[in-house]
Amino acid sequence: MTTEILTGAQAIIRSLELLGIEHIFGLPGGAILPTYDPLMDSKKIRHILVRHEQGAGHAAEGYASATGKLGVCIATSGPGATNLVTAIADAHMDSVPLLAITGQVGSTLIGTDAFQEADIVGITMPITKHSFLVTKPEDIPEVLASAVLIATTGRPGPVLVDITKDAQNKKAPFVWPPKVDLPGYKPVTKPHGKQIQAAAQLILESKRPVLYVGGGIIRSGANKELLALAELIGAPVVTTLMARGAFPDSHHQNLGMPGMHGTVPAVTALQKSDLLITLGARFDDRVTGDTKSFAVGAKVIHVDVDPAEIGKIRFADVPIVGDAREVITELNAELKTVLATKKPDIAEWWQFLDGLIERYPLGYTHVEDGKLSPQHVIERIGALSGPEAIYAAGVGQHQMWSAQFIKYERPNSWLNSGGAGTMGYSVPAAMGAKVGQPDRLVWAIDGDGCFQMTNQELATCTINNIPIKVAIINNSSLGMVRQWQTLFYNERYSNTDLHTGTDALMIPDFVKLADAYGCLGIRVEKEEEIDAAIKLAIETNDRPVVIDFIVSRDAMVWPMVSAGVSNDEVKYARDAAPVWDGEE
């Protein structure tokens, strides 16, 4: 144990170094300024100056989601801290390990409505695993070590540490390693043996099992164990929006994504199953539709590291609290013994599912308005970039098409805002991913609406030599909102036209904007130009690249289950009848 006298600011930087932090995304201001001074001297931490604190938060998310490590962002008090709130909420919904450090006004000023004061601990309490307020410099090492432990263990998530300015300026003995004592925090990672046996027995008895795989598989790094389990049982696998890449798309047992815009085989498999083997998924409403009619004939094995998720939406016949990788490892061992003498017969189940796969392949209709088909553009980005690339999507139609038409073969290759649905996520998340995985090709696939929320981070990318590729799927509108207006509001397009690509205005001109930010800007309006533009982007690594793909505003995301209705009401195309009526 070493003892040294440091300022609180120095203690912050020293603690982060000793905790293994290598990258921080942030923006300085008065209340955090003392910490930025020793940060300048750090040889171990690379600080990346963003243009907006929300960008810092999403960049830290992208870094964490691409690497599996902790993402760190830093901001000043008041508006600096509140600008992080969206990213913190996003990380909370999607279980992203995130440490947000904020400066706070001096401790004697708290509660006086001082300049740039905001109760960020109170504001973020519902959207963090924990929020700390530090008013003494001697508490800094223990608090930061505790914050990292909480953010990265159990169900990962965001932790906020708010540090007053006087705590940063005052001196105190720096003790490392600190004593971390969290008596109320004891995440369970190892499953109960009897629950493993009960799960194995249900699997053995099942005739129509489905592996319902959520993002917890990716967060726990359980993809290899999942593959072994799937092949051991022989059951179909569906991967939620947050789990794309957890199970290879090329594997014949993968039915694709379930839910509101899931594949027909995936949606139907859940509805018709007699056993849901639910791994790191939380029965989100976008997957279940109307919960009363969701998979009514199925028993449920529910595996989750967060006990609060089990039984929250759907009763679990076999609840298993534990880390997904630990649970699946033990379940595989148990199944090898159980299945040695008897294996479930699911041949009829596969015959039914294979028929669905053949009858309802994932596809799209080419548009006839002279514009590009957005699905084709995204499909070509995936085909030319390959499974080793990383794809970060914004929110809306382009997000769904990216989940549908890019083939994901490995975890941590698909980044998106699943739970919160945050517009503006893509560009800064791609930036963070590229910082964490500099040798990988990183795409931000964005809409013209989302892109305009955080495109200022292209300046950050250019200055810091972070050569991401940005594909703007430009339909000159808020596409998903417009789709709902088409389907449910009698084509009354109230305030969804953005004037970015379908008329002479082109406000803004994304190619000129890219040039202004020091990027290579390309516009693609013809199908024969698509591949060449994508290849040029891939080959250009001395600066970021922005491709403005002018696509049809009439293209829609199919299949679709309307919000709040039964998954039995899935539609394969506009005005189509449900693809099945409950009978085969």
* Residue-level pLDDT at 504: 66
- Is the pLDDT confidence value at 505 over 80? no
pLDDT by residue (tens digit) across 114-135? 999 999 999 999 999 999 999 9
Average pLDDT over residues 416-437: 98
* Residue-level pLDDT at 579: 38
The CATH number of 374-550 is 3.40.50.970
> Among candidates 519, 534, 544, which has minimal Cα distance to 430?
544
| From 22, 69, 116, 407, the catalytic residue | 116
The CATH fold assigned to 193-359 is Rossmann fold (3.40.50)
| From 4, 44, 115, 388, the catalytic residue | 115
3-state SS, one letter per residue, for 252-292: CCEEECCCCCCCHHHHHHHHHCCEEEEECCCCCHHHHCCHH
Per CATH, 193-359 and 374-550 having the same topology is answered yes
- Is the pLDDT confidence value at 582 over 80? no
Percent of the chain with pLDDT over 90: 91
Q: Report helix, strand or coil for 388.
A: coil
Bridge partner list, 443: 391, 469
Q: How far apart are CA 338 and CA 19, in angstroms?
A: 43
DSSP per position, 346-363? -HHHHHHHHHHHHHS---
| From 480, 506, 556, 560, the catalytic residue | 480
Q: Which pair of structure tokens corresponds to residue 123? A: 């504001």
161's torsion region: left (phi>0), alpha (psi -120 to 50) or beta? beta
pLDDT by residue (tens digit) across 9-24? 999 999 999 999 999 9
- Is the pLDDT confidence value at 575 over 60? no
Burial class of 562 by CB neighbour count within 10 A (0 to 12, 13 to 18, 19+): middle
Q: Which pair of structure tokens corresponds to residue 174? A: 């720096």
Domain residue extents for the chain: 2-176, 193-359, 374-550
Percent of the chain with pLDDT over 70: 97
* Residue-level pLDDT at 340: 84
115 is catalytic: yes
Binning pLDDT at 50, 70 and 90, where does residue 343 land?
A: confident
- Is the pLDDT confidence value at 576 over 90? no
Q: Report helix, strand or coil for 177.
A: coil
Give me the amino acid identity at 537. A
116 is catalytic: yes
- Is the pLDDT confidence value at 162 over 80? yes
* Residue-level pLDDT at 506: 85
| From 10, 53, 299, 399, the catalytic residue | 53
The single-letter DSSP state of residue 445 is E
* Residue-level pLDDT at 546: 98
Average pLDDT over residues 303-325: 97
End-to-end Cα distance, the chain: 69
| From 132, 142, 165, 397, the catalytic residue | 165
Q: Are strands 275-279 and 299-304 parallel, antiparallel or unpaired?
A: parallel
pLDDT by residue (tens digit) across 47-71? 999 999 999 999 999 999 999 999 9
More confident residue, 562 or 323: 323
Rounded mean pLDDT of the chain?
95
- Is the pLDDT confidence value at 584 over 60? no
Average pLDDT over residues 414-426: 98
* Residue-level pLDDT at 1: 53
2-176: CATH homologous superfamily? Thiamin diphosphate (ThDP)-binding fold, Pyr/PP domains (3.40.50.970)
pLDDT by residue (tens digit) across 463-485? 999 999 999 999 999 999 999 99
- Phi, psi values for residue 510, rounded to 5°: -65, -30
Half-sphere exposure of 574 (CA within 13 A, CB side): 12
Q: How far apart are CA 276 and CA 470, in angstroms?
A: 38
Helix spans in 313-406 (H): 324-338, 347-359, 374-385, 397-405
* Residue-level pLDDT at 307: 97
Binning pLDDT at 50, 70 and 90, where does residue 561 land?
A: confident
